[in-house]
Amino acid sequence: MAASIELIRNATQALIDHVDELTALDQAIGDGDHGLNMRRGAQAIQARLDELAGQSLNDALRTMGMTCMSTIGGSSGPVFGTLMITMAKTLADPPTAASLAETLDAGIKALTRLGKAEIGQKTLLDVLDPVRQALAAGGDQMPERVRARADEAAAATANMEAIKGRASFLGERALGHVDPGSRSMALIIGAICRTLEQQQP
């Protein structure tokens, strides 16, 4: 299955369009560079759209993962890069909701090994796992339900105490602030889901 350039363009553009929001979130509990880092990675991927158009979905995921690792600064490069490279190794072609759930499970395990973080510690895992569960449950209106679940899960990180990363130094002061990586993940998932909704007959 060829990579969907529309999906990739819309997902990366969502990060570019929300750079100020992501920057503000990270200024509250982190280094303040998350938005700019994610925009840099998104723009680097967009610069390779013609190349990605000729690749299979799995190869495109691998290419994007490597691009993230080489262009996104801080911890986000290895995190988002590892997620996509892991998905490239495990995603069925063509993907189904069930295979996407299995692929996200593999990605969650890979990120847990990478950062020693676990679900419930105010990281993007707290978006990926609820989305995994929604995909595994199946049912109708999947894109709409997954998008809503991702948004809810990202917002819920405001009620979590940070255990990993710079935000962990703030202790309870990190409460009330959404995790920037979780918000980025929700933006990506939301853009993909909205594109799929528009493509539905």
pLDDT of residue 129: 98
Summarised one tens digit per residue, pLDDT across range 76-117 is: 999 999 999 999 999 998 899 999 999 999 999 999 999 888
pLDDT of residue 176: 72
Domain count within the chain: 1
Token pair 């255990």 is at which residue?
Answer: 163
pLDDT of residue 169: 41
| Structural domain boundaries enclosing 16 | 5-199
What letter would DSSP give residue 174? G
Cβ count near 195 (within 10 Å): 17
Which of residues 94 and 2 earns the better pLDDT score? 94
- Give the residues across from 2 on adjacent strands: 56
Domain of residue 76, CATH code: 1.25.40.340
Summarised one tens digit per residue, pLDDT across range 50-77 is: 999 999 999 999 999 999 999 998 889 9
Summarised one tens digit per residue, pLDDT across range 115-143 is: 888 899 899 999 999 999 999 999 899 99
| Model pTM score | 0.92
pLDDT of residue 18: 98
Provide the b/e sequence for 48-64 (b: ≥16 CB within 10 Å).
eeeebeebebbebbbbb
| Amino acid identity at 91 | L
Summarised one tens digit per residue, pLDDT across range 156-176 is: 999 987 665 554 544 455 567
pLDDT value at 2 more than 70? no
pLDDT of residue 172: 54
Half-sphere exposure in the Cβ direction for 65 (13 Å, CA) = 18
pLDDT of residue 186: 98
